[in-house]
């Protein structure tokens, strides 16, 4: 019966992360040396920007509330995130990465606020499309890693993203499922962040 306090604490910790970190760090920044350091650096990436963090938590919470089975949309997100990161590693320049990331935060926030239900295949496809652009952004930031270092970076990104999805799913099941007002407020706040990001890009 200690789940609620645990989830509330996790939610508060996520909310306390710096929402000022909207801009992604430039590629080619300082990198730690060694596979473990690379993996840890990559693991932290999804937590360092409010856009990635909000989108991934929203996917988990929305899936927990509306998608059956709940794990498939988050799983698709992680899979396509890795694919996008590989594209970024390879130097593939996708058009509209930042607008798509902002749009994903807006759309996922609205889906959560409205508790929009849809077949799991549609939900997984939608999550996967957005995830590819999130992954490309991560790939650009971590470009330059090769061989085992690249594998460690990909593993770190996937694990960090999975943790955020799991946190969203737990939050959805333990708290939001019982409090529709909190769900609406959380989704609306996420959507508002997406609108703010889009206005910054205009």
* CB contact set of 178 (below 8 Å; sequence gap of 6+): none
Sign of the C-alpha dihedral, residues 62, 190, 108, 6?
negative
Q: What tens digit of pLDDT does each residue of 32-84 get?
A: 457 888 888 889 888 988 999 999 999 999 999 998 999 999 999 999 999 99
Confidence of residue 25 (pLDDT cuts 50, 70, 90): very low
Confidence of residue 146 (pLDDT cuts 50, 70, 90): low
User: Is pLDDT of 111 > 50?
Assistant: yes
Confidence (pTM) = 0.79
> Closest Cα to residue 167, out of 37, 20, 89, 56?
56
9 three-class SS: helix
Query: Taking the domains of the chain in order of start, what are their residue ranges?
Result: 50-201
The whole-number average pLDDT for the span 93-102 is: 93
């Amino acid at each position: 019966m200690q789940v609620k306090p645990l989830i509330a604490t996790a939610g508060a910790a996520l909310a306390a992360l710096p929402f000022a970190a909207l801009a992604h760090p430039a590629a080619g920044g300082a990198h730690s040396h060694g596979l473990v350091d690379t993996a840890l650096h990559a693991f932290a990436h999804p937590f360092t920007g409010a856009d990635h963090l909000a989108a991934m938590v929203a996917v988990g919470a929305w899936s927990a509330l509306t998608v059956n089975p709940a794990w498939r949309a988050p799983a698709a997100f992680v899979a396509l995130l890795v694919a996008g990161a590989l594209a970024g590693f390879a130097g593939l320049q996708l058009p509209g990465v930042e607008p798509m990331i902002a749009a994903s935060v807006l759309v996922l926030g609205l889906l959560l606020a409205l508790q929009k239900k849809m077949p799991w295949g549609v939900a997984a496809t939608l999550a996967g499309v957005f995830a590819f652009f999130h992954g490309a952004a991560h790939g650009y930031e971590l470009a330059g890693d090769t061989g085992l270092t690249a594998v460690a970076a990909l593993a770190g990104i996937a694990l960090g993203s999975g943790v955020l999805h799991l946190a969203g799913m737990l939050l959805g099941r333990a708290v939001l499922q019982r409090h529709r007002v909190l769900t609406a407020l959380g989704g609306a706040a996420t959507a508002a962040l997406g609108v703010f990001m889009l206005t910054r890009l205009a």
